[in-house]
Chain A
Amino acid sequence: DAGVTQSPTHLIKTRGQQVTLRCSPKSGHDTVSWYQQALGQGPQFIFQYYEEEERQRGNFPDRFSGHQYPNYSSELNVNALLLGDSALYLCASSSRKVGKSQPQHFGDGTRLSIL
């Protein structure tokens, strides 16, 4: 039973570039959330996808966008990268069928470094 998988594990980009991060949810899960974790801070909620639509969004600019595919996998896209976008990006999955009170399962993250 595969857990949440994210790719790549590490990525180095320069300012102004664009990046795409990928996530496959845990088997049986249909909801994917993305978080940004800066050094020394907790994960910050970016957005959540369910049924291929963005359902909730945190306080992040439009440079951050996402997509969910019919197989429930998801992508996080960040345009016009800034130095401040350097962080660990975490993907978490859950199942809406289980009910609203349930924990999310996290992947090990993608470490994004902006030079």
Chain B
Amino acid sequence: DQQVKQNSPSLSVQEGRISILNCDYTNSMFDYFLWYKKYPAEGPTFLISISSIKDKNEDGRFTVFLNKSAKHLSLHIVPSQPGDSAVYFCAASYYTGGFKTIFGAGTRLFVKA
């Protein structure tokens, strides 16, 4: 039961260009969405989030877009830098007496210099 799907296992982008990572979800109960970045041998690190009452959130080079009707969110990185090369996880959560957070399988981003 994959409630959160990242259909692209990998993405390769040239330095300075835009990286767009996509994520789809199926559970309408999700009301908080997050992106995490993970380097090898480290735990996931929080990158940016968005509440279901918004459709866009920006933080520096990172912007997350949420399309609730399509149950789709995307992460835009502009401009992409070699240090952005990592695995990116999309996550969605809802609260029912405790938080339940579901992660996608991840997209490995390669930013070429």
Given A40-B105, A42-B106, A44-B103, A56 and B46 contact (CB-CB distance below 8 Å):
no
In chain B between 3 and 57, which residues have their CB closer than 8 angstroms to a CB of chain A? 4, 6, 31-32, 34, 36, 41-46, 49, 51
Which B residues touch A45, using CB under 8 A?
100-103
Q: Count residues on chain A whose CB falls below 8 Å from chain B CBs.
A: 28
- Total residue contacts A-B, CB cutoff 8 A: 64
Q: Provide the bound-state CA to CA distance between A109 and B45, in Å.
A: 12
Is A101's CB within 8 Å of the partner chain B?
Answer: yes
Which A residues touch B89, using CB under 8 A?
42-43
In chain B between 73 and 113, which residues have their CB closer than 8 angstroms to a CB of chain A? 89, 91, 95-106
Whether B43 contacts A109 by the Cβ 8 Å rule is yes
Q: Provide the bound-state CA to CA distance between A35 and B43, in Å.
A: 11
The chain B residues found within 8 Å of chain A, CB to CB, are: 1, 4, 6, 31-32, 34, 36, 41-46, 49, 51, 89, 91, 95-106
